[in-house]
């Protein structure tokens, strides 16, 4: 299928875009592909997920974690990069309660924490009784990076994309921690991989960083250095060298590759077990994803302007795959919410100095392919 297909969908918000025939993801979703029936990889992956022997995979996970604990000796058994969001809170629970490990929790603070997110982070750390390290970049640097981020990668959040992996890797090298444990699998929602097409192994962290840089960060920290941003201010955003990562034999896994990942049930569990809090999140009808941040609405609104869909489309597509709503219901919800201007945009414009017209103009100039025809 291609972006110029005449097979338009009467339900879809933009008639010139091609949409997955099963969910609501459009052809402007990065790296998306459709099979001969017009089904995206995320939908294919959701079917594969039901056929996986998760009992066997949990056995594989147990061996990995036992090996990590055995080799750690007096050190931390592993590291959990934690924001206080639902995924990292659940990761920490699984490792400490189910597998009885001694993890080090490490937080890259985007310096945009919401009160709910701040409360969730410290509540989980206290109740699970783990050691914790946090790095928070100074406010002026965050503001300058937020301005440069928009023309560089098309959203406001370069510093978070880069710091959320770079800083934990620095800590892993410094403290000799051999295993990093992340949350949901890349095959879960991304439309880049499926569960059966991905190579499941104990990946080297240097290779993971390469993939992370290409997909999420897009521009390396050296590209952010300018008259306004000095190289020494970005020291935590430059990752350890591949040589150091490989020398220290640092590995990384996603729990979602080894246990059945169900964000609705996991969130319900966290709320009941630990008093984890939900709240209104701009850009979506869900009350948990990115609740720790003040700015997801700006990130997702930028995606809507650039690609014609936002986080509401992502979530309705997930709910359609889970059988929680019909595709028609999904399109109606996404069409209404994706286009809503977030209140947080006022704050973003204030700290960056952009006008709203400049914000929109920068993003529209970054449109590619069929997205160029968006209004």
Three-state SS annotation for 218-276: CCCHHHHCCCCCCHHHHCCCCCCCHHHHHHCCCEEEEHHHCCCCCHHHHHHHHHHHHCC
Express each pLDDT in 19-57 by its tens digit: 999 999 999 998 888 999 999 999 999 999 999 999 999
Least confident of 105-119, 131-145, 186-200, 278-292: 186-200
Can you tell me the distance from the alpha carbon of 191 to that of 30, in angstroms, rounded to the nearest whole number? 8
pLDDT grade for 183, boundaries at 50, 70 and 90 = very high
For residue 314, give the nearest of 184, 146, 153, 156 by alpha carbon: 184
- pLDDT beyond 80 at 63: yes
- pLDDT beyond 60 at 244: yes
Express each pLDDT in 140-182 by its tens digit: 999 999 999 999 999 999 999 999 989 999 999 999 999 999 9
- pLDDT beyond 50 at 4: no
- pLDDT beyond 80 at 89: yes
- pLDDT beyond 50 at 2: no
Enumerate long-range contacts of 231-236, CB under 8 Å, 24 or more apart. Answer: 233/141, 236/135, 236/137, 236/163, 236/166, 236/167, 236/170
Can you tell me the distance from the alpha carbon of 236 to that of 168, in angstroms, rounded to the nearest whole number? 9
- pLDDT beyond 90 at 69: yes
Q: What is the pLDDT of residue 344?
A: 98
- pLDDT beyond 90 at 311: yes
Collapsed DSSP state (helix, strand, coil) of residue 324:
coil
Average confidence (pLDDT) over 275-283: 97
Taken as a whole, the chain contains a residue count of 375
pLDDT grade for 204, boundaries at 50, 70 and 90 = low
Which residues are 113's β-sheet partners? 293
Can you tell me the distance from the alpha carbon of 157 to that of 305, in angstroms, rounded to the nearest whole number? 16
Average confidence (pLDDT) over 198-202: 70
Can you tell me the distance from the alpha carbon of 200 to that of 291, in angstroms, rounded to the nearest whole number? 30
Q: What is the pLDDT of residue 260?
A: 96
Q: Does residue 90 contact residue 127 with C-beta atoms inside 8 Å?
A: no
Average confidence (pLDDT) over 72-100: 95
- pLDDT beyond 60 at 8: no
**Hunting for tokens 């995924």 — which residue is that?**
87
Helix axes 158-175, 205-212, angle to 10 degrees: 170
Helix axes 139-153, 344-352, angle to 10 degrees: 100
Average confidence (pLDDT) over 7-14: 67
Q: What is the pLDDT of residue 212?
A: 65
Phi, psi of 357 (to 5 degrees): -60, -40
- pLDDT beyond 60 at 356: yes
For residue 340, the 8-state DSSP code is P
pLDDT grade for 246, boundaries at 50, 70 and 90 = confident
For residue 60, give the nearest of 253, 331, 286 by alpha carbon: 253
Tokens of 77: 């058994």
CB atoms within 10 A of CB 230: 11
Buried b / exposed e over 293-317, threshold 16 CB at 10 Å, is: bbbbbbbbbbbbbbbbbbbbbbbbb
Average confidence (pLDDT) over 335-356: 97
Q: What is the pLDDT of residue 74?
A: 86
Q: Which strand (E) or helix (H) includes residue 131?
A: strand 131-135
- pLDDT beyond 50 at 123: yes
Tokens of 350: 């204030």
Looking at per-residue pLDDT, the higher value among 191 and 135 belongs to: 135
Q: Does residue 28 contact residue 307 with C-beta atoms inside 8 Å?
A: yes
Average confidence (pLDDT) over 305-316: 97
What's this model's pTM, rounded to 2 decimal places?
0.91
189 Cβ partners below 8 Å, 6+ apart? Answer: 42, 314, 317, 318
């Amino acid at each position: 299928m291609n972006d110029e297909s005449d097979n338009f969908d009467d339900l879809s918000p933009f008639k010139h875009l091609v949409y997955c025939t099963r969910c609501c993801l459009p052809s402007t979703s990065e790296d998306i592909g459709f099979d001969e029936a017009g089904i995206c990889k995320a939908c294919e992956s959701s079917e594969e997920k039901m056929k996986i022997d998760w009992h066997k995979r949990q056995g594989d996970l147990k061996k990995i974690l036992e090996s990590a604990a055995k080799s750690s000796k007096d050190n931390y058994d592993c590291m959990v990069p934690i924001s206080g969001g639902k995924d990292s809170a659940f990761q920490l629970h699984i490792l400490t309660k189910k597998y009885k490990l001694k993890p080090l929790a490490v937080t890259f603070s985007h310096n945009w924490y919401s009160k709910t997110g701040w409360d969730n982070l410290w509540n989980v750390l206290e109740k699970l009784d783990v050691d914790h390290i946090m790095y928070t970049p100074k406010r002026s640097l965050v503001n300058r990076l937020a301005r440069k981020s928009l023309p560089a990668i098309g959203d406001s959040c370069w510093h978070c994309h880069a710091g959320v992996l770079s800083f934990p890797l620095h800590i892993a090298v410094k403290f000799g921690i051999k295993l990093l444990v992340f949350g949901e699998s890349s095959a879960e929602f991304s439309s880049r991989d499926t569960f059966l097409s991905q190579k499941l192994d104990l990946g080297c962290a240097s290779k993971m960083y390469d993939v992370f840089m290409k997909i999420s960060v897009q521009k390396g920290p050296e590209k952010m250095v300018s008259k306004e941003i000095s190289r020494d201010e970005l020291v935590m955003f430059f990752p350890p060298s591949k040589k150091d990562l490989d020398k220290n034999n640092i590995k990384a896994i996603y729990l979602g590759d080894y246990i059945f990942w169900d964000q609705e049930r996991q969130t319900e569990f966290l709320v009941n077990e630990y008093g984890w809090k939900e709240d209104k999140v701009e850009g979506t009808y869900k009350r948990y994803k990115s609740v720790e941040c003040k700015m997801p609405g700006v990130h997702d609104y930028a995606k809507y302007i650039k690609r014609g869909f936002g986080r509401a489309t992502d979530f309705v597509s997930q709910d359609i795959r889970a059988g929680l709503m019909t595709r028609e219901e999904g399109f109606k919800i996404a069409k209404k919410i994706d286009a809503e201007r977030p209140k947080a945009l006022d704050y973003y414009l204030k700290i960056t100095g952009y006008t709203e017209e400049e914000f929109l103009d920068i993003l529209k100039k970054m449109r590619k392919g069929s997205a160029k025809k968006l209004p």
